[in-house]
Chain A
Amino acid sequence: MDTARAARVARNERGEREAEHSVSAIDWITQLLYIAAATCFVLGLHLMNSPATARRGNQVSTAGMAIAVATTLVLVIHAGTVSVTGWIVMIAGALLGGGAGLYAARTVQMTAMPQLVSIFNAVGGGAAALVAINDYVKVAGASAGVAESTTVATILDVLIGAVTFSGSIIAAGKLQGLINAAPISFRGSRAANIAAAVVGVGGGIYMIATPDVVVLVIIILAALAFGVTMVLPIGGADMPVVISLLNAFTGTAVAMAGFVIGNWALIIAGALVGASGGILTKLMADAMNRSIRNIIVGGFGTGDDQAAALEGPGGDVRSIAADDAAIQLAYASKVIIVPGYGLAAAQAQHQVAELAKLLEERGVEVSYAIHPVAGRMPGHMNVLLAEANVPYPQLKEMEEINPEFPRTDVALVIGANDVTNPAARRPGTAISGMPILDVDNAKSIIVIKRSMGHGYAGIDNELYVNPKTSMYFADAKSALTNLTAAVKTLVG
């Protein structure tokens, strides 16, 4: 225990040549500044409660980060142990990474946001793992030995960080279309996944008893393999949940890195992110009527699943042409637009905004019903519509908009499927219990969809055979362009 304590103290006060137990002035100031930074992070997140204050929140959070980094810089200079090479390496790395991040952030398309968040998750998790690896390699070589508590934090950090790193890269590749978005499973993929997990955890337990750098390398490789085999079998439609989960992982890895190097700023910030990622993951999974375990185990969403072969209600499908749809829309007094994954995939957010604007100019009351999982990551649809200049008060959440459907003349469903299926209200279907938008309560319904194809739940949508429903079969982008043109000719 004495050696453990000594090792920890030594690392806590890196470069501090002063007393072993009393806290020096610079330590005091540093800790206070780190607390200030942490306060900024909490306030920043708190200000995200409303779109009106969210920007200020981000600025407060940025200020917190500036404080933390500047404080560390002073600490590093004060320690005075950094070699010239060390400085060059650190500055070159920061400039390179910062530049790449800046470029990506400035140029990314809003539809590609999930990929970017995934990449940032990957590098964050990777950096957290590297911090622990470096520390372990260093301490393992020292005479003081490695404290068990530090080893546990190191192992957790390395495991979670490496899984996040490889998992996020695969997720980004799937979202970008570089890797097939469909669930990929090869012979023995499940076995490989389990084997990787066993090796990782087993190696970790071995390492607690017998510190060994070689075992650490094995653990890293196993964790990387686990990340890959975990995300590959997950379908594209489940990506909102996966990204959210990986975000939580990164936060946890960073907090573990904080344990390893004894830095409160990392612990607090990492825990905040871990908690937020955890909550979002839960919200997303609930909104999709899936358990997190279910998603990770994967395989669902291939479309060929034996999804409770529901006997189609057997009605006729009525299709509609642009002109007729335009008349319905132009003479309605209240229209609710229900955008879904198909709208995001077709990148038709600008077209839908244009149509809505045209209708509004005619005095039609237009609002958007946003299901929590619309888009490719939580809240993604809101960002896409914000980009298309749609004012956020028009974007209504599910609980808020559902009571409004009965007094709606036309519900315009664009590329949304399962989230509008009334079958969810009955027990015994693949989506039973999933919260849905009550589109079928509207006086009439127009569905823009490329085909009668299934949503990722793989079942028929009873909404499409509802007598009030007309189907407009087309790609979201061209359909909306045609509708807008038709409304324009109609009203002159």
Chain B
Amino acid sequence: MTTELLTDITIFVLSLLVGFEVISKVPATLHTPLMSAANSIHGIVLVGAMLIAVTANNALGYILAFVAAAFAAMNVVGGYVVTGRMLKMFRRARTPVPAGKAPAGIAGSAGSADGHGPGGPGGPE
């Protein structure tokens, strides 16, 4: 047993607890986007895939690096874009909002900047 392993286990357990705590409050309405968002977060494995490439020096290494990078990039890009697409559809009032019908400002999320997906995973390119 090394101290690094102990640290890793500590982080793992605490993160699990944070996850339970944060997710328990999400309403059923958002469970599909939530799952999709969680899906994009496990796209962090892209970081691991990139680190494979650091030491790759033979055919097997390159193949593994290539497939892992492709899988992880698909996960991360697709996950964030589709979550953004779904959440964009959730509106407090029918749109296009007829003047005066919806309390202005509350539906603020509908009008906010459209900054989803591709910005993040653009990194590796």
**A66-B119, A102-B77 known; A48 and B86 CB under 8 Å?**
no
Chain A count of residues within 8 A CB distance of the other chain = 134
1/0 contact string of B87-125 vs chain A (CB within 8 Å): 111111111000000000010110011011111111111
- Tell me the bound Cα distance from A380 to B34 in angstroms: 11
1/0 contact string of A29-57 vs chain B (CB within 8 Å): 00000000110011011101111111111
What residues of chain B lie closer than 8 Å to A1, measured between beta carbons? 2
Q: Which of A45, A54, A372 contacts B22 (CB 8 A)?
A: A45
Interface positions, chain A 238-286, Cβ under 8 Å from B, are 243-244, 247, 250-251, 254-255, 257-259, 261-280, 283
Stretch at the interface among A84-92, A197-205, A335-343: A84-92
Interface positions, chain A 51-88, Cβ under 8 Å from B, are 51-59, 61-63, 65-66, 68-70, 72-73, 75-76, 79, 81-83, 85-87
What residues of chain A lie closer than 8 Å to B53, measured between beta carbons? 76, 82, 86-87, 89-90
Interface positions, chain A 379-403, Cβ under 8 Å from B, are 379-380, 382-383, 386-387, 389, 391-393, 395, 397-398
- Tell me if B48 and A128 are in contact (CB < 8 A): yes
- Tell me if B108 and A266 are in contact (CB < 8 A): no
What residues of chain B lie closer than 8 Å to A137, measured between beta carbons? 60
- Tell me the bound Cα distance from A263 to B93 in angstroms: 44
- Tell me if B76 and A101 are in contact (CB < 8 A): yes
- Tell me the bound Cα distance from A96 to B112 in angstroms: 30
- Tell me if A121 and B39 are in contact (CB < 8 A): yes
Q: Which of B23, B50, B57 contacts A76 (CB 8 A)?
A: B50
- Tell me if A59 and B77 are in contact (CB < 8 A): no
Task: Report B78 CB to chain A, min CB distance, Å.
Answer: 3
Task: Report B6 CB to chain A, min CB distance, Å.
Answer: 10
**A90-B124, A93-B68, A128-B45 known; A383 and B52 CB under 8 Å?**
no
Additional pairs, 8, CB under 8 Å, beyond known A72-B51, A250-B39, A254-B45: A1-B2, A45-B22, A49-B25, A54-B87, A94-B46, A105-B77, A271-B13, A382-B30
Give me 11 A-to-B residue pairs in the complex whose CB atoms sit less than 8 angstroms apart, sorted by A's number: A48-B37, A52-B108, A75-B51, A94-B124, A131-B48, A247-B42, A255-B15, A275-B23, A378-B31, A383-B86, A386-B86
